[in-house]
Structures are given as C-alpha cells and as structure tokens.
C-alpha cells in the first residue's frame, strides 16, 4: 500500500468520520451513564467479528512467520478494546486509551503495510487500527472514563512485559514484531536514533506522553458533560 495514496486516504476519511461519531455517541451515553450500554456491548462483539476472520484467513492461507502471528501490540489492543467496551473496567479502558491514542494511531497515520486491496491483510490492518482508536475515543472522551494513576502504572508495566516477551521471540525467530529489532520502512520512528537507541527513546517518550494523556483525561472527566 502506498502511504497517502487512495487506499490510504479512504481509510483516513472513514477514520475521521468515526472519531466524530464516537465522541457524539459517547457524550449522549454519558448524560445518564449507568454502566455498559447496549451500543457499547454491541461494539464489543463487532470488534472480534470484524478482525478475527481476516486474521484466520491470513494464518491459514497466507502464513508468514514474520508478519502473520498476533504479536504486534495492536493484536493485544483489540482484545483490550473488546474487554473495555463490554465491561468498562478501568484497566482495559486505560490500555485501550493509551495504546489507541499513541501507538495504534501511529499505524493509522504512517502505516507499515506491504499489502494493498484486495488482500485480507489490508482489511485486517484497517479493521484493527480504526476500531481500537474509535473505542478509546468513545470510552474516554465520550463517556469520560478517565484512567487513574494506578491504571496508568499497570498499563506501563503491561506494555514493558509485552516488549520483553516480544523481543525475546524476535531474537529466536529472527522477526521484527513491535519493530523492536529495526524500524519499519517509513514511520515516525525515523525521527529517532538508530537501534537500539530508538527503542529506549520510544519507551521514554511513551511513558511521558501517556502521563500527559492521563492528566488530560482526568481533567476532561471533571468537566460537566454537555
């Protein structure tokens, strides 16, 4: 897929429209909030329905050890988003928010995707990324389910655990999941130093940005809805 070609611009337009819808629906549901809504739980069911079939097709018919296994952080983020939408539990909501509005949105803006239409991996990529970010916006910006500092720390530790485990797998299997071994073709990581420094720089930036996002979400949650 060519970055900012037609098959990138169309998902970006859908992405922008979905962001507006997520905020509006979330604000509507926040007025008389009383736990997970029918809309929220319907979306929780739709996320695996929209992502798992494409992943299964990819695993069965186009398996590639270096790209097919569900080891990228977005492959965990859709599970967190499903959990968060179904339960509104603070921990998965925090994971969805912090992963979605930083790491996942990076994939939306600077996708590292070799396949284009009509490849199943193309649909799987956009289904994962868009739905995760929409879920984060609905839950935190729309419903104002702000993360606590305890949940922030849990999210940081969870992400570090994923990074250590994925790095170990990359070393053994000679893969590059999470882009922990080398940078993708074109991404915001190009602004950082060479390996391994860009990994350490990214961790530092993410920890600080997540803290700022936590502060912003808490301040937003204290505002009167409407």
What tens digit of pLDDT does each residue of 28-44 get? 998 888 889 899 999 99
The pLDDT of residue 224 is 59
Number of domains present in the structure of the chain: 1
User: Across 34-38, 138-142, 219-223, which has the greatest mean pLDDT?
Assistant: 138-142
Cα-based angle 168, 170, 174 (whole degrees, multiple of 5): 135
Confidence of residue 225 (pLDDT cuts 50, 70, 90): low
Q: Tens digit of pLDDT for each residue in 154-213?
A: 999 999 999 999 999 999 999 999 899 998 877 778 888 888 899 999 999 999 999 999
Indicate whether 162 belongs to any domain. yes
Indicate whether 1 belongs to any domain. no
Please check the confidence at residue 18 and state whether its pLDDT lies above 60.
yes
Full domain range(s) for residue 70: 6-222
């Amino acid at each position: 897929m060519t970055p900012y070609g037609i098959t990138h611009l169309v998902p970006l337009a859908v992405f922008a429209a979905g962001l507006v819808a997520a905020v509006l629906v979330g604000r509507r549901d926040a007025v008389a909030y009383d736990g997970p809504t029918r809309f929220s739980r319907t979306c929780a069911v739709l996320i695996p329905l929209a992502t798992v079939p494409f992943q299964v097709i990819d695993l069965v018919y186009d398996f590639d050890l270096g790209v097919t296994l569900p080891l990228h952080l977005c492959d965990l983020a859709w599970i967190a988003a499903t959990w968060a939408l179904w339960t509104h539990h603070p921990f998965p909501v925090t994971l969805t928010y912090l992963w979605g509005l930083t790491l996942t949105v990076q994939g939306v803006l600077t996708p590292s995707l070799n396949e284009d239409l009509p490849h199943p991996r193309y649909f799987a990529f956009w289904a994962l990324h868009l739905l995760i970010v929409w879920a984060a916006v609905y839950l935190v910006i729309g419903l104002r389910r702000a993360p606590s500092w305890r949940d922030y720390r849990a999210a940081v530790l969870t992400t570090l655990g994923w990074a250590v485990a994925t790095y170990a797998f990359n070393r053994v299997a000679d893969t590059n999941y999470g882009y922990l071994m080398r940078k993708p073709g074109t991404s915001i990581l190009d602004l950082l130093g060479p390996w391994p420094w860009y990994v350490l720089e990214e961790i530092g930036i993410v920890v600080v940005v997540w803290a700022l996002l936590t502060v912003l979400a808490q301040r937003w949650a204290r505002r009167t809805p409407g």
